[in-house]
Amino acid sequence: MSVKLYDMADADRMEWPDTEDARYTRSYWLPMLRFGSGNFIGNVSTRCLLAKVNKMLLPVTVNEAEYDNSYVCSPYTHYVTYTLQELALLRNPGLETVLRGVIRSMGYWLRQGRINQAVHINNWLLSTNLYPKWQEGAVSELTACLREAFPEHALVFRSVNPATDPDWYEALLREGYKMVGSRQVYLLNTVQPETLPSKARWLMKRDGKLLAQSGYEVVGPEGLTSDDVPRMLELYNALYLQKYSLCNPQFSERFFETALREGTLRLMVLRNEGRIDAVLGYYRRNGIMTTPIFGYDTSLPADTGLYRMLSVVLVREAERQGLLLNESSGAAGFKRCRGALPQIEYTAVYDKHLPAYRRRRWTVLAEITRRVGIPMMQKRKL
């Protein structure tokens, strides 16, 4: 097995494997290589490469610092900036004050250790990276190649999930990667919906009835045009940026236009009398579906139920295709009530080739998330 790295010029000349994953990668990642990430995601500045391991293709991003980047390629943003914003969820002002001071001090220390000088592998620049089918030896070969190519960078895999990708998880551990707790995501078994609790099935049936009686039409990408892009982007921004955090990916109209044209995300909307009030966009890989695009008109009354109706559409899509649904993080109570199960997700970090002062940062971060971060997420059901 050998690993080859491609930049923009090389990728234009490479022979692309004739596989579903390779065709998807070409449609999604080649524009990033050609035009740069900033044209598609406003708060992502990164060097884009492509790694080829036999017929498996993985997007690679390279960063030096860029502390204002979205968490999708900035460990600092994930573990410091975003965490500071999430403290309000604890609903404990005293604890929040203490943790805020600790995290800010930790952030300064992490920057001193060049925490953002990292190469991210299988990084699609989305909230959740789905993994292809595991190949024996792939992790070892990727690690050796990238360690040699980037001797001053930590090697990072985001969205490592022991439940959905146990082979990747175990291979990364064997190779010596540190597992740093990242977030708690929610997995819904839509392959066997009959195994869900009766209350969950009742709630989803009720949500489906709401959709049926709402007057909203579910419209897939076949019924959408580039004229709909500004509205879809507006709805995503209303939820993910304005309501949640500017640390989330700030997609551009060009990103949505490319996704709609190339089918790299299956975009679907709720439309009523010509007006789009909700949008989702999902992709699938290796039997799993996730939705990095989700948004609705937050100015409408809450009892309109747009979030509930949009979730019904997503679950039905997963059921129709027989896929496990990774619902990512957030809205934990809603997802738990409808049968989704919590699962801790990790950031896997290889730093054996780095100086001791930089390795120490990752070791301490891994220990803090193990002792404090993960138990807190589990206890408070975040």
The 10s digit of each residue's pLDDT in 14-39 is: 888 999 999 999 999 999 999 999 99
* C-alpha dihedral (314, 316, 318, 324), degrees to nearest 10: 90
* pLDDT > 90? residue 10: no
Check residues 185 and 381 and name the one with the higher pLDDT.
185
Check residues 32 and 91 and name the one with the higher pLDDT.
32
Other C-beta atoms lying within 10 Å of the C-beta of residue 199: 11
pTM above 0.75, yes or no: yes
The rounded mean pLDDT for the chain is: 95
Please, which residues have CB within 8 angstroms of residue 367's CB and are 6 or more apart in sequence? none
Q: In this structure, are residues 75 and 63 in contact, taking their beta carbons and an 8 Å threshold?
A: no
Banded model confidence at residue 153, pLDDT cuts 50, 70, 90: very high
Instruction: Give percent of the chain with pLDDT exceeding 70.
Output: 100
Chain mean position to CA 337: 22
Specify the pLDDT at position 111: 97
Q: Average pLDDT, stretch 356-367?
A: 98
* pLDDT > 80? residue 264: yes
CA distance 72 to 77: 9
Specify the pLDDT at position 13: 82
- Give the burial class of 65: count Cβ atoms within 10 A of its Cβ; 0-12 exposed, 13-18 middle, 19 or more buried: middle
As a whole number of Å, the CA-based R_g of the chain is: 21
Domain parsing of the chain, residue ranges = 3-184+344-379, 187-341
Banded model confidence at residue 380, pLDDT cuts 50, 70, 90: confident
Q: In this structure, are residues 32 and 40 in contact, taking their beta carbons and an 8 Å threshold?
A: yes
CA distance 68 to 80: 11
pLDDT digits (tens, 9 = 90+) for 298-336: 999 999 999 999 999 999 999 999 999 999 998 999 999
CA distance 300 to 17: 47
Q: Average pLDDT, stretch 115-138?
A: 97
Specify the pLDDT at position 89: 78
Quote the tokens at residue 201.
């099935």
CA distance 3 to 9: 17
Specify the pLDDT at position 128: 97
What kind and span of H or E run contains 266?
A: strand 266-272
Give the torsion sign (CA, 16, 22, 25, 27).
Answer: positive
* pLDDT > 90? residue 1: no
Q: In this structure, are residues 65 and 110 in contact, taking their beta carbons and an 8 Å threshold?
A: no
Q: Average pLDDT, stretch 53-81?
A: 96
For residue 263, how many C-alpha atoms fall within 13 Å in the half-sphere facing its CB? Answer: 7
Specify the pLDDT at position 192: 87
- Integer angstrom CA distances of residue 141 from 10, 92, 336: 20, 46, 39
Q: What angle do CA 348, 350, 352 make, to 5 degrees?
A: 155
- CATH superfamily, domain 187-341, is Gcn5-related N-acetyltransferase (GNAT) (3.40.630.30)
* pLDDT > 90? residue 341: yes
Specify the pLDDT at position 15: 86
191-195, 197-201, 211-215: which range is least confident on average? 191-195
Name the β-bridge partners of 71.
none
Banded model confidence at residue 92, pLDDT cuts 50, 70, 90: confident
What kind and span of H or E run contains 285?
A: strand 275-285
Specify the pLDDT at position 266: 98
Specify the pLDDT at position 320: 95
CA distance 186 to 161: 11
CA distance 302 to 324: 28
